[in-house]
Amino acid sequence: MSKKGFVRLLAALYAAAVLLCAAGQLLWVKGMTQAEPRSLSVQEAQLSSIRTDYGAKWLDYTATDILTTDNDARLVWTVREKVSGLRVCIQASRPVDDVELYYTTAPGQEYSLERRLSPVHFDAERGEYTFRLPKAVRVESLRLDPTSTAGCFLKLKEIHLNPPLTLREKLLPAAPELLCVAFAPPLMAFAVRELLTMIREIKYPKEGPAAPVSRKE
Amino acid sequence: MAAEAFFIMWLALAVLSIFFAVLPTGKHRLCVQKGACGKSAAAVPLCTLCGMILVLLAFGCAGALRIGAWCILLCAEAAGVVLVVRRRRSKDGGFAALLRARCCTPAWGVCFGGSALLAVLLAVKQPLFTQWDEFSFWGTAAHAVWRHDALYTLLETTNLEARTYPPAAALLSYIFTFLSDTFAPWALYAAYGVLTFAVFGAVVGLAEEKKTAAAAFGTLLCVLAPFAVESAGAGQRLNAYATAYADHMLGVLTAGGCAVWLGSTGRRGTPLCGGALAAALAKTACVSAVLGLVKDVGLPLGLVVFLVCTADHFANDFLRYKKDGRAWLRLVCVGAVLAGTAVLSYMVWAKHLAAALDSDRSYAGGSAGLSTVGMLVSGIKELLGIGRTEHFSAVFSAMVGAFLGRRVSVFGSGILTAATIMGIFALAFALERKGQRRRVVCFAAASGIGFAGYYFFQLLCYVYVFSAHDGLNLVSYGRYMGIYYLFWLLGAVCALLHAAAGRRQGCMTVMACAALVLAACWLNVRVQDTFLGRFDAAWAEQTVIEERAQQALAAAGADSDDDRVLLVAQWDDGGRWYRYAYALEPLPLYHAGLDNTIVAPETEGPFSIRLDAQSIGGFLRKEGITLLLLDVVDYDFWAEFRPLFTDGMTGYEQGSCHVYRVCQQEDGSVLFVPYTAKTEAVHE
């Protein structure tokens, strides 16, 4: 393949990549916005390793809040609808880390690391965590693991299912997609060039400048 | 500021590398221009960077680390001036041609482009440290070196506990942060990235310069390799490219040593002798020396480099041994220099430790209290069945079981990973010219023997160094073995690219391998688990800790020499102690076995200091503690000590104040005064 042909191929692949990425982003946004925003509450959730009836008042934590009893506290909501994400404000008596969200897509499905989400956004002032599913899917249940420490008082406020996308989320694809757009076209162009060269060599074994190098060199 | 500091030194590295790459003059230069001798400049950035680390180590041991760093920067500037002058004086454009031939190659693009891209990504993300050992050693060590402009072995007061670890990783990050006025963890990650991509450059340089396509797919293979060996299944968080741990660096550097060696042996396989051999040895030794200074396990890995390079030289010189007596001499020479470098770099640090800290590096640590040599001897004895203990047998069978069953990479268990790597070697064998094939066999065999040796070394660590429980459970097995698999995978890629250079089918083969590894990663790695998918929530806790530490640092003021901090983090497992030790460096933090939980005198518990309202005053006076940092407080602490706080702990409860100054009263009691900028002014 000539140099000019290669450059043209590269340009075409770049154009295709940008278009694909834009189309993918558009479809993703469309799917995400189809999920209806609504709010959830702690009362609706099944709680495990969590007490709500401890009675004592300490600092400004009162009986409406929750206390974790061991290091595996969970709140499970059965939602059975299309879900794009979750936003929750967590105020805790001791610093929490490892706030995680698991989801299942079918009844009876086990929670697994493959369907674990880490927060994509954190507002330190409000203690607000935002989770996003890779794409909007019908979700059977959501499991929030607010902390991995026992004896932690928690206030969970403003639990929003399917919070609306921010402008940046709508417009800008994530870093991995952008890296793909940047690096996939040249790799593909090289691959196409090598394939074409190989095909030509098979077709015209002894002609042209691209004759195979002798093994005895 | 951290970004400017990083890129100034990145530029300095580039200038110095170009300087060394175009250094050859006269006859050699002509042959380089013609591409006749085929000596690639791909490994120059890696060797330059390793050289920088070694220079800094020398200055650091002499107690003049900052001077050393400035010397490097000034040398880079001088080199830049020389380059500009040479460019001006060269009338026929010969210099420009030389520059193009040596430096405008895919390898240099990978090295500098890759590291710059990674640095930009990290600078945008601004990650903080999160993992345990980033606080207990790697990050804290780099922070201490940056803060004090001195090796941590020479410091009088530091919160760093493990001061006997070798310093190459901390020195590497010092190169890229010493100009900055803040210490940013991302700059450390980016500094590690420069070394990583310098190695990738050296590996990619093994494909011929004109073969951009093979180089591109080789790069893809290299970039995926750390993810491939770290991920043991989808959903696992991956730290590749954003970790202060030196494990990936070790694996990558070991492969770098082999790549440098292969790159200097020439394309046509003409055996090395004379000056070229000396140059190749010097370059490889430079990388191998740094390898030995990264971590204690660098010594066995340095020996692996020795094994692989000596085997390769043996195979390369194979036909000459009958005719030429000097060929044997050369082989001995190669072996002696490379094995000597590995041992020497280990000994240099041992000598420094003996002088600076009066500590003995030959002690392997752990419960058995054996020296490294003693561990090796009794390990071999037990392996042969002489006095084999039950514990040894149990760990041994656990290790064998782990090799067969435990998932260590995207390819599956250890045996599958090894098989995949051997498959790549087989492809390299098939691709290689006939006369050169024994080199591939020797490379594969030597790295296989190295694997057995490394596995045995790891077994000994689990038997003698780790506690019985941790040893039986093979703690961090995946991470430790990942070091070797990473080297092995990259080594196979080296062999493949070396074989593919100049072959028609070469590029296709590299492409097929890249497709295979990409597919394996695609199935087992989720982008959101890598550093690319990590967001500020992952660093939320560390952000809070650093804010509180800033408060304590402000309370201590500029002259922190008289102050000492007691951390209160109730029921912590030691993790928060390390996090504060990192964030508070240079301000000393009280520790007696990471104690930071205060309990009533009659209670028991881990990491506890047994105190009540009466005894706390005496304790604080005795330990010279002047500041109290309330990180996590529980009900018992609140109930017991609240009367001693002049604000009744309202500052803590509202979250506005976490630092209290200890005021000793004349009657022996103690009061805690909340620290705010205003009260401090009155206090003074």
Is the pLDDT assigned to residue B310 strictly greater than 90?
yes
Average the pLDDT over B392-396 and give the result. Answer: 93
**Side-chain half-sphere CA neighbours of B137 within 13 A:** 14
- CB-CB neighbors (< 8 A) of A60 in chain B: 653
Is the pLDDT assigned to residue B196 strictly greater than 60?
yes
- Domain end position, chosen among B210, B242, B273: B210
> What is residue A215's predicted lDDT score, i.e. its pLDDT?
46
CB contact under 8 A, B537 and A216: no
Torsion of CA B272, B275, B278, B279, to 10 degrees: -100
- CB-CB neighbors (< 8 A) of B536 in chain A: 121-122, 124
CB contact under 8 A, B507 and A190: yes
> What is residue A62's predicted lDDT score, i.e. its pLDDT?
52
Is the pLDDT assigned to residue B404 strictly greater than 80?
yes
Q: Is A133 exposed, middle or buried (0-12, 13-18, 19+ CB in 10 A)?
A: buried
Is the pLDDT assigned to residue B39 strictly greater than 60?
no
Q: In this structure, is residue B194 part of a structural domain?
A: yes
Q: In this structure, is residue B29 part of a structural domain?
A: yes
Show me where the domains of chain A are located: 3-28+172-198, 38-163
Q: What share of chain A in percent tops pLDDT 90?
A: 37
- CB-CB neighbors (< 8 A) of B544 in chain A: 95, 124
> What is residue B50's predicted lDDT score, i.e. its pLDDT?
97
Distance of CA A176 to CAs B13, B121, B284, Å?
A: 28, 11, 35
Higher pLDDT, B639 or B70: B70
What residues form DSSP beta bridges with B632? B569
B434 interfacial to chain A (CB closer than 8 Å): yes
Q: Is B536 exposed, middle or buried (0-12, 13-18, 19+ CB in 10 A)?
A: middle
> What is residue A60's predicted lDDT score, i.e. its pLDDT?
56
Q: In this structure, is residue B429 part of a structural domain?
A: no
Residue of A94, A212, A217 lying closest to B632 (CB–CB): A94
| A153, A187, A193, A215: best to mutate for the B interface, most B CBs within 10 A | A187
Query: Rounded to an integer, what is the distance from CA B382 to the centroid of its chain?
Result: 32
Q: In this structure, is residue B307 part of a structural domain?
A: no
Residue of B220, B504, B632 lying closest to A95 (CB–CB): B632
CB contact under 8 A, A194 and B528: no
Total tally of structural domains belonging to chain B: 2
- CB-CB neighbors (< 8 A) of B630 in chain A: none
Portion 25-64 of B in contact with A at CB < 8 A: none
A202 interfacial to chain B (CB closer than 8 Å): no
**Side-chain half-sphere CA neighbours of B589 within 13 A:** 28
Nearest-Cα residue of chain B relative to residue A211 = B504
Average the pLDDT over A149-169 and give the result. Answer: 85
Q: In this predicted model, what pLDDT tens digit does every residue of B159-192 receive, in sequence order?
A: 888 888 999 999 999 999 999 999 999 999 999 9
Confidence of residue A3 (pLDDT cuts 50, 70, 90): confident
Count interface pairs A-B at CB distance under 8 A.
92
Q: In this structure, is residue B516 part of a structural domain?
A: no
> What is residue B271's predicted lDDT score, i.e. its pLDDT?
67
Report the gap between the CA of A36 and the closest CA in chain B (Å): 24
> What is residue B684's predicted lDDT score, i.e. its pLDDT?
45
Contacts of B369 (CB under 8 A, 6+ apart): B363
B516 interfacial to chain A (CB closer than 8 Å): no
The candidate with the shortest Cα–Cα distance to B52, out of B137, B168, B130, B150, is B168
- CB-CB neighbors (< 8 A) of B635 in chain A: 56, 58
A187 interfacial to chain B (CB closer than 8 Å): yes
Residue of B216, B234, B533 lying closest to A114 (CB–CB): B234
Is the pLDDT assigned to residue A212 strictly greater than 70?
no
- CB-CB neighbors (< 8 A) of B208 in chain A: none
B635 interfacial to chain A (CB closer than 8 Å): yes
Is the pLDDT assigned to residue B575 strictly greater than 80?
yes
Is the pLDDT assigned to residue B255 strictly greater than 70?
yes
Q: In this predicted model, what pLDDT tens digit does every residue of B5-28 receive, in sequence order?
A: 999 999 999 999 999 988 865 555
Average the pLDDT over A153-158 and give the result. Answer: 81
* 3-class SS shares of chain B: helix, strand, coil, % to 5: 65, 5, 25
What residues form DSSP beta bridges with A87? A130, A160
Is the pLDDT assigned to residue A22 strictly greater than 90?
yes
Report the gap between the CA of A69 and the closest CA in chain B (Å): 14
CB contact under 8 A, B540 and A176: no
Q: In this predicted model, what pLDDT tens digit does every residue of B547-557 receive, in sequence order?
A: 999 989 988 87
Q: What angle do CA B285, B288, B290 make, to 5 degrees?
A: 115
Confidence of residue A206 (pLDDT cuts 50, 70, 90): low
User: Within 10 A of A43 (CB to CB), how many other CB atoms are there?
Assistant: 8
Category of A135 on φ-ψ map: left (φ > 0), alpha (ψ -120 to 50) or beta: beta
CATH class of A38-163: mainly beta
Is the pLDDT assigned to residue B123 strictly greater than 80?
yes
Residue of A95, A119, A194 lying closest to B537 (CB–CB): A119
Distance of CA A56 to CAs A43, A96, B162, B326, Å?
A: 20, 21, 43, 86
> What is residue B368's predicted lDDT score, i.e. its pLDDT?
64
CB contact under 8 A, A194 and B632: no
pTM of the model: 0.92
Q: Are A98 and A144 in contact (CB under 8 A)?
A: no
Contacts of B503 (CB under 8 A, 6+ apart): A213, B431
Report the gap between the CA of B567 and the closest CA in chain A (Å): 15
In terms of residue numbers, what domain contains B664? 539-683
Mean pLDDT of chain A: 84
B233 interfacial to chain A (CB closer than 8 Å): yes
- Domain end position, chosen among B174, B192, B210: B210
Q: Are A87 and A128 in contact (CB under 8 A)?
A: yes
Q: In this structure, is residue B142 part of a structural domain?
A: yes
> What is residue A54's predicted lDDT score, i.e. its pLDDT?
57
B532 interfacial to chain A (CB closer than 8 Å): yes
Q: In this structure, is residue B253 part of a structural domain?
A: no
- For residue A107, cis peptide bond before it (omega within 30 degrees of 0): no
B544 interfacial to chain A (CB closer than 8 Å): yes
Nearest-Cα residue of chain B relative to residue A128 = B537
Average the pLDDT over A180-199 and give the result. Answer: 90
> What is residue B210's predicted lDDT score, i.e. its pLDDT?
66
B437 interfacial to chain A (CB closer than 8 Å): no
Structure tokens at B427: 């492809």
CB contact under 8 A, A120 and B213: no
| B124, B223, B508, B642: best to mutate for the A interface, most A CBs within 10 A | B508
A94 interfacial to chain B (CB closer than 8 Å): yes
Portion 553-612 of B in contact with A at CB < 8 A: 571
Alpha helices of B35-138 — where are they, by DSSP H?
44-61, 65-89, 94-103, 106-108, 114-125, 132-133
Q: In this predicted model, what pLDDT tens digit does every residue of A88-139 receive, in sequence order?
A: 988 877 667 778 899 999 998 999 888 888 888 888 788 889 999 988 999 9
Confidence of residue B319 (pLDDT cuts 50, 70, 90): confident
In whole angstroms, what is the distance from residue A198 CA to residue A177 CA? Answer: 31
CB contact under 8 A, B536 and A212: no
Strand ranges (E), chain A: 38-40, 46-48, 50-51, 66-68, 74-92, 100-104, 116-117, 121-123, 128-145, 153-161
User: Within 10 A of B257 (CB to CB), how many other CB atoms are there?
Assistant: 35
> What is residue B209's predicted lDDT score, i.e. its pLDDT?
62
- Domain end position, chosen among B160, B191, B210: B210
Q: In this structure, is residue B572 part of a structural domain?
A: yes
Average the pLDDT over B453-472 and give the result. Answer: 92
Confidence of residue B254 (pLDDT cuts 50, 70, 90): very high
Of B90-99, B313-322, B326-335, the one with minimum mean pLDDT is B90-99
Q: What share of chain A in percent tops pLDDT 70?
A: 87
Higher pLDDT, A161 or B371: A161
Confidence of residue A63 (pLDDT cuts 50, 70, 90): very low
